[in-house]
Amino acid sequence: MKNSKKLNKYRSANLYKNSLTQTGLLNIIEKIVRSHPLLYLISRSIIRFTNIFETDFKGLKLVNLGKKIIIYDVGASDGLASKFFLKNLPAKKIYCFEPDQSFIKILKGLKNKKIIVKPYGLGLKNFKSPIFMPRYNFFGKNYDFTTYSFFNKKNLKKQIDLDFKFKKKISIIKKIINIKKINSKEKIDLIKIDTNGYEYQIIKTLKKIINYSKPLIILETNENIIKIKYFLKRFSYFPYYYDDKYRKLKKIKKQYPLNTFFLQKKHLKI
């Protein structure tokens, strides 16, 4: 009952936030870009050729990960996170789990031997699942916002309302993706999860790997963050956030950030 009350409180206060990922001047620019679908499409295409990534991920430079680490990038999208890992971390292998065909093509196009593309999503069993994403019509041509893929259509609608001011030409379409259960005894050092609300299911899917490998976990915060917190607490994980002002990782007490770090003591530099 106590956990349920905390979850309801979190839902009412923090469930739907805009998708801003930057701070300072980049935050202002991102607000402008995300206000219009066309600006977002153009900027997303440009960013793929830069080294710009979410501010929170700077926190990965402050933790103990060891040498030649193996990474799970779940919801790899167009590879921005994996490119960040390659540049900033001693990555030996990065498994990119991504079910969307357009993103799979981009990931394979990176042509990096350290990137291993897994063309499916993760789940507790093998099945096909519907997902929903925005489609923007510009002069008769359709553009799909695959980065906004949600399993829950209502959550997607609310996210669109938060992020975009110009929504008249945005519709919502449905696609079918492959979900697979995996079994691996390979030791994983870092798990990144960004699946627009499916993070709790991914955590449960990777339970054995988490118990065996005890990896650092960073995931996009969503309505299930309290469930995730208590699920991971049994493995001695605690939630942290990256404070960009002081360039430190701090324990989360009340307000959750866009991305939450789940760390054990061994991950913290003393």
Three-state helix/strand/coil letters over 125-143: CCEEEEEEEEEEEECCEEE
Q: Which two tokens stand for residue 51?
A: 């080294």
Instruction: Give the pLDDT confidence of 173-223 residue by residue, as tens digits.
Output: 999 999 999 989 999 999 999 999 999 999 999 999 999 999 999 999 999
Looking at residue 41, what is its pLDDT?
86
Average pLDDT estimate for 251-262: 93
Average pLDDT estimate for 227-251: 96
219 alpha-carbon distance from chain centroid? 5
Domain at 2-267: CATH code: 3.40.50.150
Residues 6+ apart with CB under 8 A from 194: 74, 75, 77, 81, 219, 220
Instruction: Label residue 214 exposed, middle or buried (CB < 10 Å: 0-12, 13-18, 19+).
Output: middle
Instruction: Flag whether pLDDT at 93 surpasses 60.
Output: yes
Dump strand ranges (E) for the chain.
Answer: 69-74, 91-97, 115-118, 121-122, 127-138, 141-144, 170-180, 190-193, 216-220, 238-243, 248-251, 259-263
Tell me how far CA of residue 258 lies from CA of 56, 88, 235, 261, in angstroms: 8, 20, 23, 10
Instruction: Flag whether pLDDT at 1 surpasses 70.
Output: no
Mean pLDDT of the chain: 88
Looking at residue 43, what is its pLDDT?
84
Instruction: Give the pLDDT confidence of 127-156 residue by residue, as tens digits.
Output: 999 999 999 999 999 999 999 999 999 999
Looking at residue 44, what is its pLDDT?
81
